[in-house]
Amino acid sequence: MPMTHHRDAGFSLITILMMMVVLVSLALAGMNSSLVQERMAGNARDRNIALQAAEAALRDAEADIEANLTVASAFVATCTGGLCLPPSMTSASPTSEPLWKSIDWGASAGKSRTYGSATGATGLPDVAAPPRYIVELLPVLPPVSGQSASLGNSDADAAQAFRISVRATGLRASTVVVLQSTYIKR
């Protein structure tokens, strides 16, 4: 009998150890899941902040166009000061590649404008770098329906379209949002 009792005690020890291993594995899996969910929530928050900064920069660019820019502004193919002619409008090498893909968005390059630089706007959330934007001059729009293209319309009546491309970051410089809109100025 004492021998049987000793075997039962050994069996119980092994069973308890196995159950503890299973419980530890479950606890580690739960912690891993929590960490992954926390990272996902942080990334979503960072992307949301970058999106808000990009939206603010779009509104800033629209205010800049309304107050400061006309067809006579210094729009060039090299995007000096963030005023660009799209590649499709340059006679030297017309292409359809979007400028936002090839432009140097760095502040030192002088190829883009910084949020608030032309309008004095402030109040962005904390971001890794201020949003930057470019404004492209698009061809003059045709007259609205019901108006003649050649009778009694002056260039002052024509609507001018501008394409705005914005690049903004979130709290981390690696979180980047690029937005684009078309703004029509009458």
Return the closest-CA partner of residue 93 out of 77, 74, 76, 110. 77
Taking residues 69-87, what's their average pLDDT? Answer: 89
pLDDT over 90 at 55, yes or no: yes
- Please state, in angstroms and rounded to a whole number, the distance separating the CA atoms of residues 137 and 69: 10
Task: Output 10 or 110, whichever has higher pLDDT.
Answer: 110
- Biggest CA–CA distance in the chain, Å, is 117
Distance CA 123, CA 184 (A): 26
Q: What is the pLDDT of residues 93-110, one digit of tens each?
A: 666 778 888 888 887 778
Model-level pTM? Answer: 0.76
Residue-averaged pLDDT of the chain: 85
Identify the pLDDT of residue 89: 74
